[in-house]
Every structure is written in structure tokens, then in C-alpha cells.
């Protein structure tokens, strides 16, 4: 039997946690291992249950979801955090992503979207609601609220030309399938390139790769480039 994805539910409303539990436990590959009603409980529950994925609310009493996400990512790097919130606001999306969340979805997402997102985050991909993806890219492009480029060696310097093309495509919000079509590669080859890119630039996931690419000017440097992808 395939090992199931261990999920921790974090929300201050018991009925919402119950609803998520009913949805998730209907899936044969997902197991809800615990619940928490605020950020403090979430951090303790992660230590106690070692979940693969945490479904994290943002607005909660005591410690909010952003602070809890930061603490979990720092102390339990193998656990992925998928933020779910009712509030489609930049401050929450960017706060969660900057804290290390691997995904951000609104609570009105369809059941299939939620299940797909959990599986994607578990295998190491990043998941963003489409509107959030557009704003992450726009914020990085315009420099709003962006952290300064750190001093030291350029983390993009070790990338091959093909890997730079793949990182550029990731930064434009393309999926692996879209990258494969754009660069005339197989999806398995793209997946291999993506893995190498993340490792070389030191990015935890695609979200961090997007931010890093924009902060280091990769996308801007391609803005006027009319050249296509080399075979």
C-alpha cells in the first residue's frame, strides 16, 4: 500500500476543520493526523505529529498563521505549509510566502483544487491561486516590498543556458507542461531541469525561485530578447 500523505489541519473554527477533515479523509492517499486552533498549537502539533503537509489558516488568535508558518519552516524543513484563507489580500499572500509557505489558496477553492494542491505541495511543487501568482510576479517586477539582493556570489551564475531558460519560464508562471511545450522538451526532462535549478540556486521551491529570479534581474534581462529557445 502506498504511504499516505500526513496532513495537519490548522484553523480557529472547529466546523471548518471538520469540513476539511471529511473532504480529505475521503481520499485513499491522505490521512489527517491532527488539528490545531491557533499558531501556537500548530507549532506544537507539528512537533508531535511530524505531518507532511500543514493546511494553515492566516487569521487566528494568539499566534497567526504567518508567524506559525515561519516557525514551522525553520524548525521542521521537511514539513510543507499550504495556506488557506478567506482573505484575498496581498499582505496575507506575500506574508505567508515570505514566511516560507509552499502554497496559497483561497478557502473557496474547489475540492479537486484542494486535493491536487496538497499532493503537489507534498511532492515538492509550489501552489498559488492564479490571482496570487500574477501579483507575486508583478510585485517582484516592480520591486514593491522586495528584499534587497544579497551581497555575494550570484546564485544564478552556476546555471547552464538551458537551466536559465527553465528558470525564466518558472518566473513567468509557466507549469512544467507549458515549459515543455515552450522549450520543445519532454515533461520528464523539464522536471529534471527544474530540480537542478532549485538545487543550484538554493530555492526551497518554485515560489522562492520566482522571487529570486526577479530579484536578480533574470526576467528583466530577457525583456527585450526576441530570441527563441535553442534546441
Domain membership of residue 171 (yes or no) is yes
The per-residue pLDDT for range 121-145, each reduced to its tens digit, is: 898 777 777 666 666 656 655 554 4
**pLDDT below 50 — which residues of the chain?**
144-151, 221-231
Tell the residue number behind the cell numbers 474547489, with chain if given. Answer: 110
Using CB atoms within 10 A of its CB, is residue 225 exposed (0-12), middle (13-18) or buried (19+)? exposed
User: Both 193 and 135 in a single domain?
Assistant: no
Predicted confidence at residue 222, as pLDDT, reads 45
Predicted confidence at residue 124, as pLDDT, reads 79
| CA 123 to the chain's CA centroid | 11
DSSP tag of 50: -
For the record, the C-alpha cell of 182 comes out as 515552450
User: Both 215 and 173 in a single domain?
Assistant: yes
**DSSP-derived pairing of the beta strands 53-56 and 30-36:** unpaired
Domain membership of residue 178 (yes or no) is yes
Q: Which domain holds residue 56?
A: 5-139
DSSP tag of 80: E
Predicted confidence at residue 158, as pLDDT, reads 87
C-alpha 52/C-alpha 80 separation (Å) is 6
Predicted confidence at residue 223, as pLDDT, reads 44
Query: How many helices, marked H, and strands, marked E, lie in the chain?
Result: 11, 6
User: Both 100 and 173 in a single domain?
Assistant: no
Predicted confidence at residue 230, as pLDDT, reads 35
- Within 101-186, residue ranges assigned H as helices are 111-122, 130-142, 161-171, 176-183
Q: Which residues contact 144 (CB under 8 A, 6 or more apart)?
A: none
The CB-side HSE value for 127 (13 A sphere, CA atoms) comes to: 24
Give the length of the chain.
Answer: 231
User: Both 97 and 56 in a single domain?
Assistant: yes
Domain membership of residue 151 (yes or no) is no
Phi, psi of 153 (to 5 degrees): -60, 145
User: Both 114 and 14 in a single domain?
Assistant: yes
User: Both 199 and 89 in a single domain?
Assistant: no
If one counts the domains in the chain, the total is 2
Phi, psi of 41 (to 5 degrees): -65, -35
For the record, the C-alpha cell of 18 comes out as 471538520
C-alpha 90/C-alpha 87 separation (Å) is 9
Amino acid at each position: 500500500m502506498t504511504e499516505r500523505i500526513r496532513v495537519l489541519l490548522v484553523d480557529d473554527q472547529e466546523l471548518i476543520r471538520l469540513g476539511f477533515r471529511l473532504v480529505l479523509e475521503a481520499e485513499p492517499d491522505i490521512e489527517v493526523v491532527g488539528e490545531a486552533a491557533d499558531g501556537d498549537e500548530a507549532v506544537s502539533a507539528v512537533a508531535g505529529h511530524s505531518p507532511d503537509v500543514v493546511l494553515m489558516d492566516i487569521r487566528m488568535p494568539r499566534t497567526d498563521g504567518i508567524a506559525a508558518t515561519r516557525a514551522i519552516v525553520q524548525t521542521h524543513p521537511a514539513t510543507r505549509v499550504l495556506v488557506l484563507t478567506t482573505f484575498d489580500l496581498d499582505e496575507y499572500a506575500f506574508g505567508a510566502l515570505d514566511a516560507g509557505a509552499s502554497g496559497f489558496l483561497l478557502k473557496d477553492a474547489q475540492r479537486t483544487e484542494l486535493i491536487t494542491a496538497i499532493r503537489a505541495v507534498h511532492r515538492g511543487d509550489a501552489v498559488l491561486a492564479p490571482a496570487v501568482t500574477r501579483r507575486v510576479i508583478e510585485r517582484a517586477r516592480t520591486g514593491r516590498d522586495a528584499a534587497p539582493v544579497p551581497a555575494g556570489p550570484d546564485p544564478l551564475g552556476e546555471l547552464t543556458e538551458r537551466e536559465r531558460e527553465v528558470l525564466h519560464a518558472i518566473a513567468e508562471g509557466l507549469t512544467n507542461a507549458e515549459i515543455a511545450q515552450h522549450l520543445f522538451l519532454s515533461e520528464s526532462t523539464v522536471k529534471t531541469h527544474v530540480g537542478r535549478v532549485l538545487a543550484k540556486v538554493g530555492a526551497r521551491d518554485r515560489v522562492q525561485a520566482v522571487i529570486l529570479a526577479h530579484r536578480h534581474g533574470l526576467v528583466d534581462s530577457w525583456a527585450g530578447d526576441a530570441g527563441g529557445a535553442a534546441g
